[in-house]
């Protein structure tokens, strides 16, 4: 083991937040090293041939509206590093048992027309409601996809929405998706269409905070679409890593940090399992809060550690990838043209999913987020063939090979209800249960894909109530993962924000 090497900053973890943090530091002229435990860069943004040769699957995330909207990624020259967004004709479709589907087009009028066809008036109500937010989308984006505190964006949004609109927005933040649906819709399709997007988070549609969770994703669909990188999610990671390398940053894979070293209340560097030792005055953890606390050990005061330990996980997940002999044969024509399909049917069936998982019951008909990126991106599969990707949240007893396989069978049966003949198109299947997800990325603690639950209090105060939630009591040690404001999805904001505060503190000599 050689003596410790010195760098200006270490980032622990190469997920989109780790890379965003490293890029901000490197752009400020800092010498940055990113240490990644896995043998591949990217955290939950990677693509692999999981099923058969020639079929590119996104091992974790696949659909990237938040990345397309991200003010952080917009600052980076990612197109010059090979990133190209592919937009499906329809962002999302939500098929119902009657063979019809609610559709989310990027175009608001097209969406309204399709919802009106399902129930006259529902589309117009949606368009009327959404329009002010879309008119002020830059301010909304600055609020929701800015760092904490979201003050500057919030003030801009308030100025744009005026007093009444601001009060309506405040109510939206606090209300439930059920209430928003009651306010806007009379027919069953639009209601289910909204609830499906709520379930990208783990917040039940009857709870506070679920209205904004669902509505925000639909608004992103209108503002920027729900695109995916051409060639696979990994193309986004490759572009970020390539840019970092050009700026002089390095990424060491197979290098799991096992200890954060500090002295006299200041961070001093890290030690990795393979003996790599780096000295640095800035360390940013793209990890879970609990992992950061474990790595830092006794340097953190007990009360801070106790508060971090109260951080709540979200439910576990089962994810399935398929290689298919042809496109998924959805009954609803809109679902055949959509990049993402919400599979669950009526609003009551969608809410039954969260109710079951909360009660530790296994949903017989699991609600699925289903991605079919090969519909719009032929590079994902051999000519005429297709890929598909689906995940669903599960109660804790769905763990271990037998239980996970049984749930994968329920997932296929659920797709069959809306796409008869799907099973016959399957050429190969790859299944990840909670343990496999965590083995592939230790931030996915017990298969929680969200980096912690999205219950309202923990979205706002993430990982804990603090004016600068990225800061820790050890000077120079920061946390900037999906477990910090504004939370999960691929956008890089937590990492970028943590790096911004780290640079500010360094300038102030702290
Ligand atoms: C199955 C799944 C599907 C998803 N689908 C979507 C989607 O479609 N769209 C979307 O926007 N988001 C999606 N997400 C969420 C999104 O991928 C995450 O919110 C995002 O990747 C979080 O980024 P991050 O940088 O905070 O952490 P991660 O991407 O999880 O990266 C953390 C990295 O840190 C590394 N690490 C941890 N501890 C150490 C250590 N001690 N030493 C060294 N390295 C360490 C890990 O190995 C990992 O590479 C999905 C997530 C999952 C799991």
Residue 176 Cβ contacting ligand 1 at under 6 Å:
no
Pocket test for ligand 1, best of 10, 22, 490, 495 (most atoms within 8 A of CB): 490
Give the domain range for residue 304.
5-83+232-312+451-507
Is residue 292 a part of any domain in this protein? Answer: yes
**Section 278-296 average pLDDT:** 98
184 within some domain: no
- Domain CATH code at residue 68: 3.50.50.60
Output DSSP code: residue 275.
S
> Sign of dihedral through CA atoms 136, 139, 145, 149?
negative
What is the whole-number distance in angstroms between the Cα of residue 496 and the centre of ligand 1? 15
Q: pLDDT tens digit string along 104-135?
A: 999 999 999 999 999 999 999 999 999 999 99
State residue 2's pLDDT score.
53
Cβ of residue 64 lying under 6 Å from some atom of ligand 1: yes
User: What is the residue-averaged pLDDT of the chain?
Assistant: 97
Instruction: Provide the number of structural domains found in the chain.
Output: 1
489 ligand 1 Cβ < 6 A: yes
Question: Hey, which of 47, 286, 373, 388 would you mutate to test ligand 1's pocket, going by the most ligand atoms within 8 Å of its Cβ?
Answer: 286
**What does pTM read for this prediction?**
0.97
Q: Is 70 in the pocket of ligand 1 (CB under 6 A)?
A: no
Mean pLDDT of the 87-93 span: 98
> Does residue 21 belong to any structural domain of this protein?
yes
**Residue 1, pLDDT above cutoff 50:** no
Q: Among all chains, which residue has been given the structure tokens 């995916």? A: 228
The predicted structure's pLDDT at residue 3: 66
Q: Identify whether 17 is part of a domain.
A: yes
306 located within any domain: yes
Which atom of ligand 1 is nearest to 62's Cα? 8
Q: Assign 292 a pLDDT band (cuts: 50, 70, 90).
A: very high
| Position 286 in a domain | yes
Region 23-35 average pLDDT = 98
Give the whole-angstrom CA distance, residue 381 versus residue 53.
9
Annotate 96-117 with DSSP letters as a single string. -TTS-EEEE-SSHHHHHHHHHH
Residue 389 lies in a domain: no
User: What single-letter DSSP state applies at residue 371?
Assistant: E
Closest ligand 1 atom to Cα of 272: 42
> Is 282:9 a contact under the CB 8 Å cutoff?
yes
Which residue out of 34, 287, 443, 451 has the highest number of ligand 1 atoms within 8 Å of its CB and is therefore the one to mutate? Answer: 443
Q: Is 287 in the pocket of ligand 1 (CB under 6 A)?
A: yes
Q: Is 45 in the pocket of ligand 1 (CB under 6 A)?
A: yes
Nearest residue CA, atom 2 of ligand 1? 60
Q: 157 with 140: CB under 8 angstroms?
A: yes
Q: Could you tell me if residue 88 is inside a domain?
A: no
Q: What is the pLDDT of residues 433-485, one digit of tens each?
A: 999 999 999 999 999 999 999 999 999 999 999 999 999 999 999 999 999 99
Average pLDDT over residues 291-295: 98
Does residue 503 register a pLDDT over 70? yes
- Location of structure tokens 């017990």: 446
* Across 32-41, average pLDDT: 98
pLDDT of 195 > 60? The answer is: yes
Structure tokens at 116: 């009106």
């Amino acid at each position: 083991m050689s003596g410790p090497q010195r760098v200006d900053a270490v980032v622990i973890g190469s997920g989109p937040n780790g890379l965003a943090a490293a890029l901000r530091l490197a752009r400020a002229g800092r010498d940055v090293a990113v240490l990644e435990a896995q043998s591949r860069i990217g955290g939950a943004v990677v693509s692999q041939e999981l099923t058969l040769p020639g079929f590119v699957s996104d091992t974790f995330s696949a659909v990237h509206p938040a990345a397309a909207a991200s003010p952080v990624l917009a600052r980076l020259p990612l197109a010059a590093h090979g990133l190209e967004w592919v937009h499906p004709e329809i962002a999302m479709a939500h098929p119902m048992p009657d063979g019809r589907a609610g559709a989310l087009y990027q175009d608001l009028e097209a969406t309204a027309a399709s919802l009106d066809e399902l129930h006259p008036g529902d589309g117009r109500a949606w368009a009327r409601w959404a329009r002010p937010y879309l008119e002020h989308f830059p301010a909304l984006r600055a609020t929701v996809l800015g760092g904490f505190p979201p003050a500057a964006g919030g003030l801009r949004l308030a100025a744009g929405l005026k007093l009444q609109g601001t009060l309506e927005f405040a109510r939206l933040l606090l209300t439930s998706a059920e209430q928003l649906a009651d306010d806007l819709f009379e027919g069953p399709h639009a209601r289910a269409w909204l609830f499906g997007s709520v379930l990208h988070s783990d917040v039940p549609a009857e709870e506070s905070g679920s209205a904004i969770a669902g509505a925000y994703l639909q608004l992103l669909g209108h503002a920027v679409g729900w695109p995916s990188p051409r060639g696979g999610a990994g193309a986004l990671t490759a572009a970020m890593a390539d840019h970092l390398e050009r700026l002089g940053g390095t990424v060491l894979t197979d290098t799991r940090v096992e200890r954060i070293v500090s002295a006299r209340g200041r961070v001093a560097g890290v030690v990795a399992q393979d003996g790599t030792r780096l000295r640095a005055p800035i360390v940013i953890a793209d990890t879970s809060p609990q992992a950061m606390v474990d790595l830092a050990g006794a340097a953190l005061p007990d009360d801070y550690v106790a508060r971090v330990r109260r951080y709540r996980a979200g439910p576990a997940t089962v994810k399935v990838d398929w290689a298919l002999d042809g496109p998924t044969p959805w009954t609803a024509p809109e679902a055949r043209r959509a990049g993402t399909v919400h599979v669950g049917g009526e609003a009551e069936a969608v809410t039954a999913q969260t109710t079951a998982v909360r009660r530790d019951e296994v949903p017989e008909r699991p609600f699925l987020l289903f991605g079919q990126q090969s519909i719009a991106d032929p590079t994902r599969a051999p000519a005429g063939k297709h890929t598909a990707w689906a995940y669903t949240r599960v109660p804790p007893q769905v763990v271990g090979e037998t239980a996970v396989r049984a749930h994968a069978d329920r997932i296929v049966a659920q797709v069959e209800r809306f796409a008869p003949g799907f099973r016959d198109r399957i050429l190969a299947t790859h299944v990840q249960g909670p343990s496999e997800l965590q083995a592939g990325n230790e931030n996915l603690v017990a298969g929680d894909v969200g980096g912690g639950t999205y219950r309202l209090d923990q979205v706002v105060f993430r990982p804990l109530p603090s004016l600068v939630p990225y800061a820790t009591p050890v000077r120079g040690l920061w946390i900037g993962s999906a477990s910090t404001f504004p939370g999960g999805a691929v956008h890089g904001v937590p990492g970028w924000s943590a790096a911004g505060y780290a640079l500010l503190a360094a300038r102030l000599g702290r």
